[in-house]
Amino acid sequence: MGFKLALCAVLLAVSLPSWAAKKVDLDYHVTLLPKSGEAEVRLTLEQGSAVRSLDLDLGDKSYFTDFSADGQWATTAGQADSTLRGIWKPASGKATLTWRVHLNRPSVTAASEKPRYDSRVTQDWALFRGEDLVPRARLDQQDGVRLQTRLTVDLPPGWKYVETSWPRVGKNRFRIDDSSRLFDRPNGWMLAGNLINRRAHLGDTDVTVSAPKGQGMRRMETLTLMTFVWPKLQAVFPRRPGKLLVVGAAESMARNASAGHDSIYLNSNRPLISESGASPLLRELVQVMARIQDRDRSDWIRAGIAEYYSVELLRRAGGMTEDRFQDWQSILTRVGRKVTTLRANHVDPAMTARAALLMSALDQEIRQQTNEQKSLDDVAQGLMRMGAVSTADFVQIAAGVIGEPSKVLSTPLLQ
């Protein structure tokens, strides 16, 4: 009897659900420092003994400096490259690790152009990604522990708001819970300062469009376009985030659009719909909703899906005529005419154009072969249910939807 009771206790211990795990608070406290273009970050573990070690990737650009730790802290060069790593072994009680991070980060621009920034801190506002604050890290924690993560932001005097894509649990305080990661860290776009916000409830999602005063952000136009295509977007990509944040600025910021965790950055000087008919906003919105990840030199899948649906969704919503759709395809044909392969870790604009044309041709093939019963939408939804996908995975999913191998995808472009 004693043996059976002991065995039951062991089995119960190893099969406890996540809600029964020991919960330990992990708090990030961020203080923005406009004068130096930095932020001070303080990571506090309620119980340091819950974590054996935290191995942080500090990169090779010296953005992270001035580390101070309760417990053991050491830096070492990466084994395979020039990156620097920091190893923290927390003290057993309440333990804190602090550092400073440079947030004025220049983007890649031509030598003749004025400097532009992927993230920036001015005297009135700061725009950056949550990933900029906290390095990527490998977490080694004790068994049976679950970290509960929160983020608090201290604003400089006179600054009124901070916006993130995470649930707000207090003034300037947010809950971070990323089920795809063992180590939760803030990610997605963040904006702080003297902001003007416009909000709407689209389906099950609270949408906020936010930008600093005087940056020319077309907040209501952005919300209107999103409202216009939202039902069509949800029909293809049935994911319903609780929050979605769209941020914008123009002053010395990168001239592109970029998706983050349930968030989008737009340069507010750029049009919501370009002369070609493509929409940077809708392209990044597809990226946010689809969350397609790629592997094995297959970035063309993510890029092609986003580019194709940025126009296709507009067409389905009634915002583009068939003639304009054909004009858009002609533009893609011209831009991508010299592309001989789509296989790469990161595709350029010409490859993206060629990938979008391939998606359009595949959609037509699927509709013809299935008598309009299926479409590229079924392939996209299959991709959403997978982890990182390869070109071979994509070809297999398409064949499953069609019922036979795709002729469109038997192309040298994918070899």
The string of DSSP codes covering 332-374 is HHHHTTT-----BSS--HHHHHHHHHHHHHHHHHHHHHTTTS-
Closest by Cα among 223, 258, 263, 222 to 243 = 263
Q: What was the pLDDT predicted at 15?
A: 42
Q: What was the pLDDT predicted at 179?
A: 82
The helix or strand, by DSSP H or E, that contains position 248, with its residue range, turns out to be strand 243-249
Q: What was the pLDDT predicted at 294?
A: 95
Name every residue whose Cβ is closer than 8 Å to that of residue 331 and which is 6 or more positions away in sequence: 276, 277, 353
In this structure, the strands spanning 205-212 and 161-163 are: unpaired
Closest by Cα among 237, 244, 246 to 292 = 237
Indicate yes or no: pTM above 0.85: yes
319-344 confidence digits (pLDDT tens):
999 999 999 999 999 999 999 999 99
Q: What percent of the chain has pLDDT over 90?
A: 87
Point out the residues of the chain with pLDDT beneath 70: 1-20, 79-81, 108-113
Q: What was the pLDDT predicted at 173?
A: 98
CB 366 within 8 A of CB 374: yes
CB 186 within 8 A of CB 131: yes
Name every residue whose Cβ is closer than 8 Å to that of residue 102 and which is 6 or more positions away in sequence: 37, 38, 62, 63, 65
Q: Residue 277: how many CB atoms within 10 A of its CB? A: 19
Is the domain 21-105+128-187 a CATH 2.60.40 member? yes
- The strand order across the sheet containing 125-129 reads 105-106, 117-121, 125-129, 189-193, 161-163
Domain ranges in the chain with CATH number 2.60.40: 21-105+128-187
Q: What was the pLDDT predicted at 182?
A: 87
Q: Work out the burial of residue 89: count CB atoms within 10 Å of its CB; fewer than 13 is exposed, 13-18 middle, 19 or more buried.
A: middle
Closest by Cα among 268, 264, 272, 271 to 252 = 268
CB 264 within 8 A of CB 257: yes
Name every residue whose Cβ is closer than 8 Å to that of residue 219 and which is 6 or more positions away in sequence: 196, 197, 198, 209, 210, 211
Q: What was the pLDDT predicted at 110?
A: 54
The string of DSSP codes covering 5-18 is HHHHHHHHHHT--G
In this structure, the strands spanning 125-129 and 205-212 are: unpaired
